[in-house]
Amino acid sequence: MQIMKYPYLALLPLILLYGCGNSSEEEKKELVKPIKYGVVESFGGLTTRTFNGITQSGSETKLSFRTGGLITRLNVAVGQRIKRGQLLAQLDQTDALLALEQAQLDVANAKVQLETASSGFERITQLYQTNNASLSDYEKAKSTLSNAQSSYEISLKRLDLQRSQVSYTSITSPMSGIVSTVNVETNEVVRPGQSILTMSKEDSKDLEAQVGVPEKYISRVKHGSPTKIRIPTLSSEFDGVITEVGYTSSGGTYPVITSLTNPADEVRPGMPVEVTFTFGNEDQEKQLIVPVKAVGEDESGQFVYILRPQDNEVYEAKKVTIEIGSLTSGGFIVRSGLTQDQIVALAGLRTLYDGMKVALLTQ
């Protein structure tokens, strides 16, 4: 029996086969090419678009202290109904009250000095008029009275300031409503302006919905336009009117606020909503628009690659011959070959082919 001198050579074909198997799978993964894409949209007539958002109170108010310190009282809880003028939270007032007492003593002392200076001035004035006091004595008494008057007025202003400092250590409710959030706890040290709690009016008529509208649609959103607001958790639909349209974007979308014109009592802030906007002009003929970069041309005519969804966010490219019309600001008018909301490739048309697997490039 012959013993193999190099036993590992027998395993070499298996190693190569295994390696080739992995390489093949990696090549398949690499075939899923990221690609820019667009959407076939309608132009003219009336079209609708729905965006997700959340309900909120139109009079939501965030409350904070104007000074910092240690919270000693917190008389609120989430969901609690409160009345206008009710004490909600308070800071440690020890230092502020001591400063207030000192300011009150300063006012009392300044008042005594003013009364003394006033009496002295009257006495010197009488003596000066009878030539029993010199002009310098008269001027000195007048200056002393003026300084005493100034000191008294300054002490009064300091007293008002200290009273304000004491009032800054308390938060009272500016309106009747419901506590939405409480952000702190008792014995917590807070800084000036830090949000302590949020409250809203207890009024269903004050509710509104906020959604994020993509930049491609924001120019078509107009203040005062009607909307439809659906709340999935309640299986209800309400009428709305656009009250605010954001000027700057956040995360690629612009905030748009719609007030509910016929809200129900069960609607509360924080509920997810679906807001439907209506765009276009009903007097115009409805047509489809395809982006310019999506259209290619060969010996068969104009074509596009539509992207059909598969599994795991993978799409399959399909070449479709189309007939296009005139060019508009939004793209080519489609006469035939496409339907609304189809996804089409915008770049690399020469490298695509039927059945090619791609992924949508979101950036």
The answer to whether the pTM exceeds 0.75 is no
Runs of H (alpha helix) within 130-255: 135-167, 215-218
Tens-digit pLDDT profile for the chain (363 aa)?
444 454 544 444 544 444 544 544 444 445 688 899 989 987 766 778 899 999 888 777 899 999 999 999 998 998 888 999 999 999 999 999 999 999 999 999 999 999 999 999 999 999 988 888 899 999 999 999 999 999 999 999 999 999 999 999 999 998 888 888 899 999 999 999 999 999 887 665 678 899 999 887 888 888 899 999 999 888 888 899 999 998 888 778 899 999 988 777 788 888 899 999 988 766 667 788 899 999 999 988 999 999 999 988 899 999 999 999 888 877 898 999 999 889 999 988 888 999 999 999 875
3-state secondary structure of 232: coil
- Contact indicator for 77, 190 with CB cutoff of 8 Å: no
Separation between Cα atoms, residue 238 and residue 115, nearest integer Å: 71
DSSP class of residue 49 equals: E
Residues in the chain: 363
Number of H helices, E strands in the chain: 4, 25
Three-state secondary structure string covering 101-115: HHHHHHHHHHHHHHH
Separation between Cα atoms, residue 212 and residue 51, nearest integer Å: 7
Residue 281 parent element (H or E) = strand 272-281
Sign of torsion over alpha carbons 45, 49, 55, 57: negative
- Contact indicator for 179, 202 with CB cutoff of 8 Å: no
Which residues, 6+ apart, have CB-to-CB distance to 55 below 8 Å?
207, 208, 209, 231, 260, 267, 268, 269, 270, 271, 273
Residue 252 — φ and ψ, nearest 5°? 90, -5
Separation between Cα atoms, residue 20 and residue 26, nearest integer Å: 10
What local confidence, expressed as pLDDT, does residue 24 receive? Answer: 47
Q: What are the angstrom distances between the C-alpha of 68 and each of 59, 74, 93, 168, 244?
A: 26, 15, 11, 9, 34
Q: Which residue matches tokens 């200290």? A: 162
Q: Which residue matches tokens 């079209």? A: 47
Separation between Cα atoms, residue 39 and residue 211, nearest integer Å: 21
What local confidence, expressed as pLDDT, does residue 191 receive? Answer: 94
Q: What residue ranges define each of the domains in the chain, with the CATH number in brackets?
A: 31-44+286-360 (2.40.420.20), 47-59+201-281 (2.40.30.170), 61-92+169-200 (2.40.50.100), 94-167 (1.10.287)
Separation between Cα atoms, residue 314 and residue 359, nearest integer Å: 5
Where b means 16+ CB within 10 Å and e means fewer, 249-272 reads: eeeebbbbbbbbeebeeebbbebe
